[in-house]
C-alpha cells in the first residue's frame, strides 16, 4: 500500500461527525458563512484628500500593467520565429532525394538514411527485413499535428497491394503548435524468391501523397530471418554494423518462435498497441518542447538510431524509442526533461481528450530518480509482464518460446493471471489458438496454491467497510509484518515483483513478513537484532506512555508488538519450525508436514482439491471454525463478512468437512427427550421395572418421578463410549452396507482424524434445551461438555458411533434417604448378578445417590450416576 492510499483510507475512516460537519449539501454555502462569522461593513465618510490618493494609486497601477503588456508584445514580435508554429522539423539534416541514373529501380537497401519529404511530414525508412514470409519495415514519422489530421497514416505499396494504415497518432496529439515523432512498423506478406516494387505513401489530410521514388525488393528464398540493411550514412552505418553479426544479437530481442501465425488480419501496430507496445503512449512521444532541450543538431539522433529497430521484439528500456532512451542517449538531465514535461502538462490540460498525454507526479518522480526498474514499472502498459527492469509485451510473448519465458524469468503465475486479458487482445482465431495453447501450457505449470483458484467467491467484506481485515488476510500476527524490507536494499525490486505474482501466500517466504524479507534481502544476524531492537524501543516507549495514561487497550497492543528474546532468536536462526508457531495468527492453520501456513483468505479463494494438495485436513478446519465465527461474523465492530460471502465460505468448508452435502436446514428436526426416554427401560426385567415404579410412586412427587426416568435415559444414552470408526469396513459395520448411499455419506463428519460422526438430523440447540429441561444448568453444561459421542457442527447434532447398548449385569435396589419440598435424594445400590443362577449376589458394585432439586423452573436433576455402564 502506498502513502497516498494510506492517507485516503485514514481520512475515509474518520468519525462521522467530521463527515457530516463538512458535508457540502446544497444551500450549505450560507451555513459556511455562519462558520466564519458575518462581517458587517459600516458606511464610512471619505474625504477629498483620500479620494485623490485613491485615484493616483490606481492610475499608477494601471500604467504599470499597460507597460508590462507592451513589453510582452514587443518581446513576442521579436521572438516570434522561435516560438510560433513551424514547419515540421525533420530529424537530422535532410538527405537529397535519390534519383536513379537508369531505368532500373534501385534496391530497397538504398533507402536507408533517406528521408522522404511529404507536404506535412517527414518519413525515415529505417529497417527492412524479410523473415521468409513477410517484409518487415520500420519507419519514423515526424509530422505536424493538426485538428484536421487526426489519424496520419503510412502505407507501403507493393506492386499495387497495400498494407492497412500502419501509423496513427492519438487525438491527444492534435495540436497545431507541436510536432510529433512517431515510430512505426509495417509487415507485408510476400512470396519468397520474387522481386517486388515498393514505395511509400502518406496520408495527412485525406489525400494520399506518394513518394516519387520506387524501389525494388527481391525476397530471399529462405525461411530464417535475414536483415537486409545497408546504408552509406556514417551514423546509420555504425548502428547497422552493431547488428551485423546475428550471433551477437540478443536472442530475446529477436523472434524465436517462427511457427506463430500472423496475429492480426492486417498489420497496424498503432491500432493494436496493446499487443505491440511495451509503453504507454505518452512515454513514446517526444513533444517539440522536449526536442528543444538538446542541441538542435543532435535532438533527432536517438530517433535515427532507433529507426534501425535493433530489436524485433523489444523488451528493455533501451530496445526502442521512448522518452528514457531518448534522454539517456542525449545525456539530458532528468530534471530538465521533467521540467519540460511539466510545462507540456500545462498545455495538455488546456486540450480536451489529452488526458493520456499528461504525466503524473508519480511518473516524473520515477524519471527523476532514474531507477530503471521503477521507470519501467511506471510506464509499462497493463498488458506487459515486468521482470526486473525488463518489460515483455504480448508481442514478445507471442513470438517467443516457453523456454524463452523461463530464461527471461517470467513466472507461470503471471501468465495465469494475465490469460483473460490476453484473450481480449482481439487476435485472429488461428492466432489465439496458437498463442492461447502456448500460454496455457506454461500457465499449467504455475503454483496453483499461490493463486486464486476458486474464482466463484464473492467479495469477502462489504464495500462500505474500510477496515483492515488482518484476521482474514494475514497468516501472521501483526508484529511479524513490516519493519524489514528497505526499498533501497539490493533485491528489493525483485522481491516485490515476485510477491506481486503471489495472490494467496501460503509459505513463510511469499509475503512481506519479516522472515520473507530476511531471506529475500539477506539480512545478517546483526542487522536483524538491530532492526528489532529499534522496533522494540519504539514500542516500549509507547507502552510506557500507555501505562502512564492507564490505557488498557493500548497497553495490550503495545505488549503484543514487542518481540521476545525467544522470537528474536528464532528469527536469527531462520528455523521455520521455530518461527512459524511463534508468529502464526490465531485464525491461520499450520500444516506441520510441509510448514505451510494457511490463512482464512487462502481457504476462501481455494478449492477442496487445493486443500488436499496443501495438506489441510477437515479436522484442522473444524478446529478453527469457531474462531472464524467470532472473527468474521461476531466482531461487533461493524466489520463482519458480507452475509453471502460467509454463506459461500462456510458452505465450501462444510462440503470439505462433511465429505458431502449437508442436510438442508428444513430437514433438521427438534430433538425430543420424551422420545428418548420412552425406550430407555426396554432392557429392564419386569421385576426390575416393578421395583423402580414402586419406588417412584412412593416419592409422592410425579414431576420428580418423570424426571428420574428422563435423567436415566439421557445418562445411559450419551455416556457410552464412542467406537472408533476409522476405516471404511468399520463404518460399514456400524452404519450397514448402504452407508455409502448419498444420504448416508452426507451424514459423516470427520473429527480428530479418526472419529466419524453421523448427522442425527436434529438441531443442536434442541438437544441442549432437552438436557437443560432435565438437569440443572451447570450440571447439563458439564455433562454436554464431557459427552464423547455427541458433536456439534453448525446448527446440527452429530452422533459418533457408540458401543453396544446392552445393559450391564447388575441388580438395582432403591432407597430414598431424603425427600423434602426442595430436595430429593434417591440412592441406588447395585448388586452383581450370579452368572450361573442369574440372581443378585450380596456383592455391591455401585452405590449412587441421585440428587434432585427444586429450581425456579421446576424440579431438576443435580446429579445422576451411571450405574449400568455397558460392559
Enumerate binding residues for another protein (CB under 8 A).
1-26, 28-29, 32-33, 35-36, 280, 356, 360-363, 378-379, 382, 462-466, 468, 470, 478-479, 481-483, 485-487, 538, 541-542, 557, 560-561
Q: State the nearest-atom distance from the C-beta of 77 to another protein, in Å.
A: 33
* Residue number, 29 or 78, with CB nearest to another protein: 29
CB of 805 to another protein, least distance (A): 46
Contact 735, 758 (CB under 8 A): yes
Asked if 115 contacts 90 with a C-beta cutoff of 8 angstroms, the reply is: yes
Closer CB to another protein, 135 or 378, in the complex: 378
Residues 6 or more apart whose CB falls under 8 angstroms from that of 199 comprise 156, 157, 210, 211, 213, 214, 215
State the pairing for strand pair 215-218/385-387. Answer: unpaired
Exposure of 588 by Cβ count < 10 A (0-12 exposed, 13-18 middle, 19+ buried)? buried
Q: How far is the CB of 54 from another protein (least distance, A)?
A: 22
| Range 588-596 contact pairs with CB under 8 angstroms and sequence separation of 24 or more | 588/474, 588/475, 588/476, 589/616, 589/620, 589/621, 589/624, 591/615, 591/616, 591/620, 595/507, 595/508, 596/449, 596/506, 596/507
What whole-number distance in Å separates Cα of residue 202 and Cα of residue 184? Answer: 13
Nearer to another protein, 23 or 667 (CB): 23
- Count of CB atoms within 10 A of residue 93's CB? 8
CB of 327 to another protein, least distance (A): 19
Least distance from another protein to the Cβ atom of residue 740, Å: 42
Strand partners, 181: 142
How far is Cα 140 from Cα 183, in angstroms, rounded to an integer?
A: 4
Choice between 124 and 460, CB closer to another protein:
460
- The packing angle between helices 361-369 and 334-349, to 10°, is 170
Count other C-beta atoms under 10 Å from residue 237's C-beta: 16
The most distant pair of C-alpha atoms in the chain lies apart, rounded to whole Å, by 140
Q: Tell me if residue 212 falls in helix, strand or coil.
A: coil
Nearest approach in angstroms of CB 535 to another protein is: 8
Of 166, 168, 92, give the one whose Cα is nearest residue 124: 92
Nearer to another protein, 30 or 207 (CB): 30
- Residue among 25 and 96 whose Cβ is closer to another protein: 25
| 3-state per-residue secondary structure call for 70-115 | HHHHHHHHHCHHHHCCCCCCCCCCCCCCCCCCCCCCCEHHHHCCCE
Closest CA to 126 of 294, 295, 305: 305
Answer for the pair 399, 185: CB distance below 8 angstroms, yes or no.
no
User: Count of CB atoms within 10 A of residue 108's CB?
Assistant: 24
Please say which residue, 10 or 51, places its beta carbon nearer to another protein.
10
Q: How far is the CB of 358 from another protein (least distance, A)?
A: 9
Q: Where are the alpha helices (DSSP H) in 594-681?
A: 600-604, 608-614, 618-628, 643-658, 673-678
Among 269, 305, 247, 245, which Cα is nearest to 136's? 269
The strand pairing partners of 793, in sequence order, are 796
Taking the complex as a whole, the smallest distance from the CB of residue 476 to another protein amounts, in Å, to: 9
Q: Find all residues with CB under 8 Å of 641, minimum gap 6, and list them.
A: 460, 461, 472, 632, 633, 649
620: β partners? none
Secondary structure class of 196 (helix, strand, coil) = strand
**Residue 276 CB-density burial (10 A; 0-12 exposed, 13-18 middle, 19+ buried):** buried
Q: Which C-beta is closer to another protein: that of 9 or that of 777? A: 9
With cell 515483483, the residue in question is 497
What is the DSSP-derived secondary structure letter of residue 741? S
Q: Which is nearer to another protein, 376 or 508 (CB)?
A: 376
CA distances from 405 to 398, 411, 498, 541, 815 (A): 10, 8, 15, 50, 87
Nearest distance, CB of residue 109 and another protein, angstroms: 40
Could you tell me the three cell numbers for 831?
Answer: 448388586
Closest to another protein by CB, 15 or 102: 15
CB of 383 to another protein, least distance (A): 12
Comparing CB distances to another protein, the nearer of 346 and 464 is 464
Task: Please report how close the Cβ of residue 329 comes to another protein at its closest, in angstroms.
Answer: 24
Shortest distance, CB of residue 2 to another protein, whole angstroms? 6
The length of the chain in residues reads 871
Nearer to another protein, 32 or 651 (CB): 32
CB of 323 to another protein, least distance (A): 14
List strand residue ranges (DSSP E) for 374-501, in order.
385-387, 390-392
Least Å distance, CB 657 to another protein, is 28
- Residue 93 or 463 with smaller CB distance to another protein: 463
Is 214 or 368 the residue whose CB approaches another protein more closely?
Answer: 368
53: burial class by Cβ within 10 Å (0-12, 13-18, 19+)? Answer: exposed
Closer residue to another protein in complex, CB, 390/585 = 585
Q: Report how far residue 316's alpha carbon sits from residue 98's, in angstroms, rounded to the nearest whole number.
A: 35
Shortest distance, CB of residue 248 to another protein, whole angstroms?
35
Closer to another protein by CB, 10 or 65: give it.
10
Cβ distance to another protein smaller for residue 32 or 76:
32
CB of 728 to another protein, least distance (A): 45
Of 279 and 771, CB closest to another protein = 279
Smallest gap, in angstroms, from Cβ of residue 816 to another protein?
A: 54
For residue 467, the minimal CB distance to another protein (Å) is 8
Amino acid at each position: 500500500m502506498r502513502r497516498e492510499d494510506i492517507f485516503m483510507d485514514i481520512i475515509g475512516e474518520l468519525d462521522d461527525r467530521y463527515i457530516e460537519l463538512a458535508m457540502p449539501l446544497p444551500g450549505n454555502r450560507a451555513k459556511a458563512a455562519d462558520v466564519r462569522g458575518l462581517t458587517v461593513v459600516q458606511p464610512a465618510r471619505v474625504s477629498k484628500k483620500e479620494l485623490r490618493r485613491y485615484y493616483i494609486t490606481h492610475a499608477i497601477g494601471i500604467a504599470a500593467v499597460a507597460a508590462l503588456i507592451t513589453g510582452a508584445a514587443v518581446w513576442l514580435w521579436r521572438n516570434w520565429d522561435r516560438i510560433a508554429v513551424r514547419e515540421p522539423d525533420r530529424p537530422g539534416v535532410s538527405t537529397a532525394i535519390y534519383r536513379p541514373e537508369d531505368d532500373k529501380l534501385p534496391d530497397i537497401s538504398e533507402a536507408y538514411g533517406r528521408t522522404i519529404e511529404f507536404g506535412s511530414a517527414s518519413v525515415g525508412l529505417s529497417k527492412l527485413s524479410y523473415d521468409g514470409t513477410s517484409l518487415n519495415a520500420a519507419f519514423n514519422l515526424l509530422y505536424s499535428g493538426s485538428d484536421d489530421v487526426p489519424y496520419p497514416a503510412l502505407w507501403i505499396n507493393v506492386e499495387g497491394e497495400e498494407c492497412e494504415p500502419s501509423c496513427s497518432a492519438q487525438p491527444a496529439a492534435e495540436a497545431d503548435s507541436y510536432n510529433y515523432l512517431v515510430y512505426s512498423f509495417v509487415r507485408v506478406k510476400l512470396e519468397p524468391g520474387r522481386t517486388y516494387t515498393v514505395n511509400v505513401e502518406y496520408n495527412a489530410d485525406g489525400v494520399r501523397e506518394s513518394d516519387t521514388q520506387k524501389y525494388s525488393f527481391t525476397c530471399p528464398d529462405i525461411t530464417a530471418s535475414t536483415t537486409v540493411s545497408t546504408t552509406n550514412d556514417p551514423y546509420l552505418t555504425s548502428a547497422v554494423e552493431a547488428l551485423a553479426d546475428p550471433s551477437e544479437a540478443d536472442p530475446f530481442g529477436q523472434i524465436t518462435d517462427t511457427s506463430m501465425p500472423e496475429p492480426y488480419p492486417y498489420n497496424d501496430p498503432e491500432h493494436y498497441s496493446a499487443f505491440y507496445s511495451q509503453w504507454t503512449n505518452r512515454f513514446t512521444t517526444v513533444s517539440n518542447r522536449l526536442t528543444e532541450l538538446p542541441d538542435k543538431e543532435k535532438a533527432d539522433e536517438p530517433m535515427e538510431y532507433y529507426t534501425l529497430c535493433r530489436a524485433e521484439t523489444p523488451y528493455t528500456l533501451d530496445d526502442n524509442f521512448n522518452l528514457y532512451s531518448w534522454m539517456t542517449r542525449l545525456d539530458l538531465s532528468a530534471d530538465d526533461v521533467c521540467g519540460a514535461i511539466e510545462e507540456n502538462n500545462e498545455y495538455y490540460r488546456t486540450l480536451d481528450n489529452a488526458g493520456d498525454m499528461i504525466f503524473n507526479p508519480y511518473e516524473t518522480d520515477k524519471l527523476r530518480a532514474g531507477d530503471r526498474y521503477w521507470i519501467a514499472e511506471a510506464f509499462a502498459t497493463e498488458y506487459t509482464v515486468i521482470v526486473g527492469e525488463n518489460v515483455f509485451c504480448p508481442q514478445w510473448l507471442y513470438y517467443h518460446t516457453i523456454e524463452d519465458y523461463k530464461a527471461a524469468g517470467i513466472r507461470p503465475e503471471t501468465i495465469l493471471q494475465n490469460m483473460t486479458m490476453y484473450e481480449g487482445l482481439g487476435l485472429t482465431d488461428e492466432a489465439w489458438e496458437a498463442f492461447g495453447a502456448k500460454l496455457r501450457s506454461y500457465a499449467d505449470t504455475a503454483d496453483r496454491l499461490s493463486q486464486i483458484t476458486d474464482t466463484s467467491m464473492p467479495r469477502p467484506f462489504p464495500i462500505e467497510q474500510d477496515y483492515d481485515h488482518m484476521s482474514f488476510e494475514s497468516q501472521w500476527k501483526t508484529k511479524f509484518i513490516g519493519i524489514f524490507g528497505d526499498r533501497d536494499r539490493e533485491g528489493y525490486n525483485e522481491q516485490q515483483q515476485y510477491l506481486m505474482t503471489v495472490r494467496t501466500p501460503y509459505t513463510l517466504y511469499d509475503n512481506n513478513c519479516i522472515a520473507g524479507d530476511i531471506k529475500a534481502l539477506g539480512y545478517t544476524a546483526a542487522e536483524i537484532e538491530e532492526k528489532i531492537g529499534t522496533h522494540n524501543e519504539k514500542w516500549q516507549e509507547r507502552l510506557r506512555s500507555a501505562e502512564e495514561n492507564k490505557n488498557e487497550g493500548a497497553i495490550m497492543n503495545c505488549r503484543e508488538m514487542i518481540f521476545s528474546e525467544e522470537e528474536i532468536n528464532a528469527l536469527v536462526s531462520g528455523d521455520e519450525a521455530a518461527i512459524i508457531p511463534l508468529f502464526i495468527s490465531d485464525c491461520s492453520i499450520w500444516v506441520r508436514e510441509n510448514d505451510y501456513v494457511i490463512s482464512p483468505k487462502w481457504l476462501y479463494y481455494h478449492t477442496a482439491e487445493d486443500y488436499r494438495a496443501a495438506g489441510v485436513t477437515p479436522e484442522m478446519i473444524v478446529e478453527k471454525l469457531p474462531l472464524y465465527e467470532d472473527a468474521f461474523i461476531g466482531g461487533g465492530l461493524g466489520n463482519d463478512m458480507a452475509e453471502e460471502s460467509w454463506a459461500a465460505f462456510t458452505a465450501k468448508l462444510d462440503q470439505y468437512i462433511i465429505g458431502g452435502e449437508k442436510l438442508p436446514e428444513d430437514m433438521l428436526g427438534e430433538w425430543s427427550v420424551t422420545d428418548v426416554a420412552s425406550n430407555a427401560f426396554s432392557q429392564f426385567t419386569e421385576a426390575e421395572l416393578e421395583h423402580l415404579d414402586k419406588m417412584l410412586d412412593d416419592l409422592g412427587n410425579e414431576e420428580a418421578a418423570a424426571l428420574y426416568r428422563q435423567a436415566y435415559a439421557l445418562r445411559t444414552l450419551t455416556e457410552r463410549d464412542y467406537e472408533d470408526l476409522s476405516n471404511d469396513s468399520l463404518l460399514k459395520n456400524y452404519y450397514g452396507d448402504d452407508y455409502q448411499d448419498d444420504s448416508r455419506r452426507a451424514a459423516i463428519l470427520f473429527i480428530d482424524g479418526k472419529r466419524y460422526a453421523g448427522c442425527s438430523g436434529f438441531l443442536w440447540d434442541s438437544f441442549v434445551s432437552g438436557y437443560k429441561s432435565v438437569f440443572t444448568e451447570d450440571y447439563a453444561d458439564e455433562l454436554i461438555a464431557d459427552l464423547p459421542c455427541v458433536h456439534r457442527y453448525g446448527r446440527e447434532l452429530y452422533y459418533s458411533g457408540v458401543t453396544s447398548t446392552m445393559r450391564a449385569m447388575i441388580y438395582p435396589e432403591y432407597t430414598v434417604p431424603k425427600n423434602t419440598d426442595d430436595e430429593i435424594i434417591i440412592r441406588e445400590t447395585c448388586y452383581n448378578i450370579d452368572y450361573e443362577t442369574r440372581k443378585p449376589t450380596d456383592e455391591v458394585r455401585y452405590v449412587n445417590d441421585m440428587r434432585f432439586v427444586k429450581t425456579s423452573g421446576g424440579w431438576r436433576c443435580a446429579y445422576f450416576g451411571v450405574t449400568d455402564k455397558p460392559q
